[in-house]
């Protein structure tokens, strides 16, 4: 599988940033945890930008300036490809916010975040993120839960890398994309193509198609037009093949 060629950098995406719409604000899960004043301050600072397939939202070695979330589309988090093949750590589905650990430490990114398709990405400036940490108990709780779930997700991803069963790799990766806290806006159906799933899982499109057929036969998922519907999330997570 070939890599995407980025068409825009993070700085160019920021140049195209705009204020979020009311509908987009309703899709940001942590806003609900804020008080009226805290929410007003956050909404004033939030921006939204359009990323095309292949665009990088975050690049390794760049300083952190925003905490990012996905409003619509699909992203992947991966390593630096300059020293060898790309390793995808996880995918980011609608409603997912990422990079809070990097923002907390005010350090450079240690991973790339790239759009797999045209996506709308929201950003909260680091300064506002810090202010909410200092003033909002609800925001602190959200970030704490994010960090805890993210740790579990990366431990699971480490286990997935060691799996020799392609069907199980696809099952576990799908389960991660349906995480209720890390991807709260996915619902029952994830809009994803077999090629996009192949990029995330690290398998060929043909092998992903075979795995989806196997998972469908077990009654765990149903492949629908333009996406996948999960019928048994606990089974996908346990992967008892």
| Three-state DSSP class for residue 202 | coil
Sheet holding 227-230, edge to edge: 189-191, 227-230, 221-224
Q: Does 222 reside within a domain?
A: yes
Domain final residue, candidates 117, 137, 155: 155
Write the CB contacts of 69 (distance below 8 Å, at least 6 apart in sequence): 28, 95, 96, 97, 98, 121, 122, 123, 124
**Do both 67 and 33 map to the same domain?**
yes
Mean predicted confidence (pLDDT) in 29-47: 97
**Do both 126 and 42 map to the same domain?**
yes
Residue 211 has pLDDT above 50, yes or no: yes
Residue 241 has pLDDT above 80, yes or no: no
**Do both 98 and 142 map to the same domain?**
yes
Q: Does 3 reside within a domain?
A: no
Q: Does 160 reside within a domain?
A: no
| Range in 81-95, 135-149, 179-193 with the lowest mean pLDDT | 81-95
Query: pLDDT averaged over the chain?
Result: 88
Domain final residue, candidates 101, 120, 155: 155
Residue 19 has pLDDT above 70, yes or no: yes
Most confident of 11-20, 32-41, 196-205: 32-41
Domain final residue, candidates 121, 155, 189: 155
Specify the CATH number for the domain of residue 70.
2.60.120.10
**Do both 122 and 60 map to the same domain?**
yes
Specify the CATH number for the domain of residue 174.
1.10.10.10
**Do both 89 and 196 map to the same domain?**
no
Confidence (pLDDT) at 201: 87
Q: Domain of 223?
A: 165-238
Give CA–CA dist 24/39, Å, rounded.
14
**Do both 132 and 189 map to the same domain?**
no
Residue 5 has pLDDT above 50, yes or no: no
**Do both 38 and 148 map to the same domain?**
yes
Mean predicted confidence (pLDDT) in 46-71: 94
Q: Does 114 reside within a domain?
A: yes
**Do both 25 and 79 map to the same domain?**
yes
**Do both 130 and 25 map to the same domain?**
yes
Confidence (pLDDT) at 160: 63
Q: What are the DSSP E strand ranges found in 80-156? A: 88-92, 97-98, 112-115, 119-125
Mean predicted confidence (pLDDT) in 127-137: 97
**Do both 64 and 149 map to the same domain?**
yes
Is residue 16 within 8 A of residue 49, CB to CB? The reply is yes
pTM score, two decimals? 0.85
Most confident of 33-47, 50-64, 183-197: 33-47
| pLDDT classification of 3: cutoffs 50, 70, 90 | very low
Tokens representing 43? Answer: 């909404």
| Range in 11-20, 137-146, 222-231 with the lowest mean pLDDT | 11-20
**Do both 106 and 214 map to the same domain?**
no
**Do both 17 and 126 map to the same domain?**
yes
- Counting the structural domains of the chain, the total is 2
| pLDDT classification of 180: cutoffs 50, 70, 90 | confident
């Amino acid at each position: 599988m070939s890599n995407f060629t980025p068409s825009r950098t993070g700085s160019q995406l920021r140049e195209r940033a705009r204020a979020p719409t009311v509908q987009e604000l309703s899709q940001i899960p942590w806003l609900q945890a804020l008080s009226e004043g805290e929410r007003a301050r956050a909404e004033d600072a939030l921006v939204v930008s359009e990323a095309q397939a292949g665009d990088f939202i975050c690049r390794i070695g760049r300083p952190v300036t925003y905490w990012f979330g996905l409003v619509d589309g699909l992203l992947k988090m991966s390593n630096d490809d300059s020293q060898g093949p790309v390793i995808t750590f996880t995918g980011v589905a609608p409603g997912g916010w990422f990079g809070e650990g990097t923002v907390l430490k005010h350090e450079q990114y240690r991973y790339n975040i790239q759009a797999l398709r045209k996506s709308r990405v929201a950003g909260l400036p680091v300064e506002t993120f810090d202010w909410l940490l200092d003033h909002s108990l609800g925001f602190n709780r959200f970030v704490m839960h994010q960090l805890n779930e993210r740790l579990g997700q990366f431990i699971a991803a480490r286990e997935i890398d060691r799996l020799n069963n392609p069907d199980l790799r696809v099952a576990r990766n799908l389960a991660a994309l349906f995480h209720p806290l890390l991807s709260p806006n996915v619902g029952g159906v994830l809009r994803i193509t077999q090629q996009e799933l192949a990029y995330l899982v690290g398998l060929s499109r043909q092998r992903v198609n075979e795995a989806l057929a196997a998972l469908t036969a077990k009654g765990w998922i149903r492949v629908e037009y333009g996406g996948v519907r999960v019928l048994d999330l606990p089974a996908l997570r346990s992967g008892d093949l």
